[in-house]
Structure 1
Amino acid sequence: MTQTRTTRLERGRSALGPALELVHTGRAPTRAVLTAELGVTRATAGAVAAELEALGLITVDARPAAAAGSQGRPSHRLSVAPDGPVVLAAQIHADGFRAALVGLGGRMVATAPGCVTVPADPARIIGTVVEEGARLLRETDRRCLGAGLAVPSAVAEPDGTALNPLHLSWPAGAPVRALFTEALAAAGVPGPAGGPLAGVAGNDVNLAALAEHRHGAGRGARHLLCVATGHRGVGGALVLDGRLHSGSSGLAMEVGHLTVNPAGLPCHCGSRGCLDVEADPRAFLTAAGREPGPAGSLLHQATELIRTSYDTDPAVRAAVELLVDRLGLGLAGLVNILNPDRVVLGGLHRELLTADPGRLRAVVADRSLWGRSGSVPILPGTLDHGSLIGAAEAAWQPVLDDPLAVLG
């Protein structure tokens, strides 16, 4: 084999991961776009696309067609393989769990929710959600290439331990990644080569931000700030140049413990008036004069109350305004420090923005150094299960980095 031929093959292999990520995120819908994005020849792009198709990851349209009104040579369309492999995604939250199978492109193939009282032993609930995921794999007969878990806690690296599961009764420092990997083995979920499957675990809002950046309202942002409240508490995340910023040991962006009401409620962290207790579903329901719970999801209860009563109930409108002001105060501080080019809100915060977008943007602009001169776009998240999709993104990452190393 000539040196030129060897170099071409090496260049093609090095382009497999970037090419797959371009198709995965919808940024390369055709082979012509793929060629331009990769900066390679048409022949190399064609070979790369063919290799990814042979691996069962994408499909290449055999009969290229030009778009209406376009000129020039038509290009083959590229898309993720509809019946291709999946990853197992799992999420644990204060009101239960959800398991899902997620394909490339962030496509939810199957899902199984469960509302339970989360036990103090994390191994039990992790085992339950993995068993549900294994059941989905058996029913769909899909090949599994990875597994990811989202938890409502900062996850320290490199050990994969949940340091502050404040809204669960777990002990601090629970080894969630190790427990997840053990549960996958116990449930008989095989890895790509038939051996044991190593799970990955991360904070739920971090993973939701990654999902929004790749498949949702954050797509195309260079510096994306995501703030969200799920079933309990408030979290934040930052994506810089396409990569999640997790700090030196995975503990960055604990924005829930910004003080927005110094005379407010005591927080689990030991302070008072943090976003975590002043701008989450429980805080909203209390402000609206509703009794939180006791059964079901607080997030669902709060979301439905805004959707059904904001226009008709003065107490609900006042509660929205109160939480918008608290959230806006926290966002303004974050914008001043981080200077993102986009802010995406998830969970209950998405509903607050939708209910009164002008008020929230005005609060942030009034308190932001740059708010009046160059307003940062504040957008609602577009993914209903962002943390699950994000857990899948973490599981897909080794494949996106080097498809042949995983599937070869």
Structure 2
Amino acid sequence: MTLTRTTRLERGRSALGPALELVHTGRAPTRAVLTSELGVTRATAGAVAAELEALGLIQVDSRPTAAAGSQGRPSHRLAVDPAGPVVLAAQVHADGFRAALVGLGGRIVATAPGCMTVPADPAHVLAAVVDAGAELLRETGRRCLGAGLAVPSAVAEPEGTALNPLHVAWPAGAPVRDIFAERVRDAGILATAGSGVTVFAGNDVNLAALAEHRHGAGRGARDLLCVATGHRGVGGALVLDGRLHSGSSGLALEVGHLTVNPKGRTCHCGSRGCLDIEADPLAFLTAAGRDPGPEVSLLQQARDLLRDERESPSVRTAVQVLIDRLGLGLAGLVNILNPDRVILGGLHRELLAADPERLRAVVAERSLWGQSGSVPLLACSLDHNSLVGAAELAWQPVLDDPLSVLPQ
């Protein structure tokens, strides 16, 4: 008896989430690849793709074209629906915030920055973030399925509290996820009656690593180390065996507090010479003999200085100083963690571009048995990767089970 589409879908319902994730991450560009990756029949893969299309999540090209020189019947092409639903992604940093609407595939649909002195009460800035996101939704008319927040702090799980917001004035233990969720609910921006929608919060560098692993420079790595400067400070994150490693309670890999200059400045944590204050944008400006101004963020000031005065002796010296400090920290991390790839974000991306040979040499010089020095050092490739990572948190319930979130 020929299976009906409904019967095929019932048989393949458990494959809906995995299928969507394959399209979302670009690993299933055609129905043939989807069939192979899922290990199902062509008919079941077709029913699954058709259901995801009916939910408004993907597009199935019904008139595929074969590549030149290929044989056999060409396969239908699969892509995320560019007009599909979005999630609200938000990032708070030392100089303000940014809100964005992000679709499947990590595609930023609309974004709105906000510059402000971040107040001691996180509720004020989170209200501004959600207001900005609500305005983007009104302007675009998009349906919002969830919300994710990136913050410059370790976020304890399962409580969702910011434990060490060193570069904003929030009190330690601020319940940022609950506050964000309350503001999102009050704004009434979640347009789904499903039961699977939740509001999430996470550390900004952790989320940057998650985004880069799924959509950027970390794609294909099994064990990925990410080290990045934010607007202030240095953070790190680790993807192990393809999954973000956050430890038993969300607090793993606080790399900013590795000592890289024993005679350096006193850190906010009470130690001295930490990577957090020895290799961030303020450290770069200081090493170059420049006083930071109030007009734009420290990160932007450091980037502008490196771009506009790269050949200045003081800037070249600052580049060398920070590369040596960063390389020392990376060497220790690589020796301990043995990743197959290291990606660098924020100002560290520009430092890698400015003198890649020096940074690789510093890491190699301190590597174990010469092997750690061969680990690829790459630049993060996504703009606003922490925002994209916050969106990944919000998309995860949909990726896990689309039918539990979206109306049928």
TM-score range, shorter chain: over 0.9
- Matched residue, 2:95: 95
- Matched residue, 2:344: 345
Other structure's SS at 1:384 match: coil
Rounded Cα–Cα distance in structure 2 between residues aligned with 1:337 and 1:11: 45
Q: How far did 1:293 drift?
A: 2.4
- Matched residue, 1:400: 399
Rounded Cα–Cα distance in structure 1 between residues aligned with 2:12 and 2:242: 23
How many residues align structurally? 407
- Kindly indicate whether the alpha-carbon contact (under 8 Å) linking 2:324 and 2:359 is maintained by their aligned counterparts in 1: yes
- Kindly indicate whether the alpha-carbon contact (under 8 Å) linking 2:364 and 2:373 is maintained by their aligned counterparts in 1: no
- Kindly indicate whether the alpha-carbon contact (under 8 Å) linking 1:153 and 1:204 is maintained by their aligned counterparts in 2: yes
- Matched residue, 2:105: 105
Rounded Cα–Cα distance in structure 2 between residues aligned with 1:240 and 1:59: 31
- Matched residue, 2:216: 216
- Matched residue, 1:49: 49
Q: How far did 1:197 drift?
A: 6.0
Residue identity in the other structure for 1:368: S
Which string of whole-angstrom CA distances, capped at 9 and with x for unpartnered residues, describes residues 162-187 of structure 1?
00000001000000000001111222
Rounded Cα–Cα distance in structure 1 between residues aligned with 2:82 and 2:9: 27
Rounded Cα–Cα distance in structure 1 between residues aligned with 2:305 and 2:345: 17
Q: How does 1:181-200 map to 2 (within 5 A)?
A: 181-193=181-193, 198-200=198-200
Other structure's SS at 1:97 match: strand
Rounded Cα–Cα distance in structure 2 between residues aligned with 1:106 and 1:2: 38
Q: How does 1:215-364 map to 2 (within 5 A)?
A: 215-310=215-310, 312-364=311-363
Q: How far did 1:10 drift?
A: 4.6
Rounded Cα–Cα distance in structure 1 between residues aligned with 2:213 and 2:190: 29
- Kindly indicate whether the alpha-carbon contact (under 8 Å) linking 1:266 and 1:273 is maintained by their aligned counterparts in 2: yes
Other structure's SS at 2:374 match: coil
Which string of whole-angstrom CA distances, capped at 9 and with x for unpartnered residues, describes residues 165-222 of structure 1?
0000100000000000111122221242189963100000000000000110000000
Which string of whole-angstrom CA distances, capped at 9 and with x for unpartnered residues, describes residues 14-41 of structure 1?
1111111111011111111111111111
Residue identity in the other structure for 1:355: A
- Matched residue, 1:31: 31
Q: How far did 1:295 drift?
A: 2.7
Residue identity in the other structure for 2:300: H
The alpha-carbon distance between structure 1 residues 196 and 334, as it changes in their structure 2 partners (threshold 3 A), is closer
Rounded Cα–Cα distance in structure 1 between residues aligned with 2:194 and 2:278: 48
- Kindly indicate whether the alpha-carbon contact (under 8 Å) linking 1:212 and 1:381 is maintained by their aligned counterparts in 2: yes
- Kindly indicate whether the alpha-carbon contact (under 8 Å) linking 2:257 and 2:275 is maintained by their aligned counterparts in 1: yes
- Matched residue, 1:177: 177
Unmatched segments (≥5 aa) in structure 2: none
Other structure's SS at 1:84 match: coil
- Matched residue, 1:13: 13
The alpha-carbon distance between structure 1 residues 197 and 372, as it changes in their structure 2 partners (threshold 3 A), is closer
The alignment's TM-score, normalised by the length of structure 1, stands at 0.96
Which string of whole-angstrom CA distances, capped at 9 and with x for unpartnered residues, describes residues 293-317 of structure 1?
223110011011112211x201101
What is the identity percentage for the equivalent residue pairs of Structure 1 and Structure 2?
81
- Matched residue, 1:148: 148
- Matched residue, 1:367: 366
Q: How far did 1:328 drift?
A: 0.4
Q: How far did 1:11 drift?
A: 4.1
Rounded Cα–Cα distance in structure 1 between residues aligned with 2:357 and 2:243: 30
Tell me, yes or no, if structure 1 residue 135 matches structure 2 residue 118. no
Give the stretch that moved more between structures: 367-376 or 291-300. Answer: 367-376
Q: List, as ranges, runs of 4+ consecutive aligned residues in structure 1 with deviation greater than 3 Å.
A: 1-11, 194-198, 370-374
Q: How far did 1:44 drift?
A: 1.1
Residue identity in the other structure for 1:153: S
Q: How far did 1:109 drift?
A: 0.5
Unmatched segments (≥5 aa) in structure 1: none
Residue identity in the other structure for 1:339: N
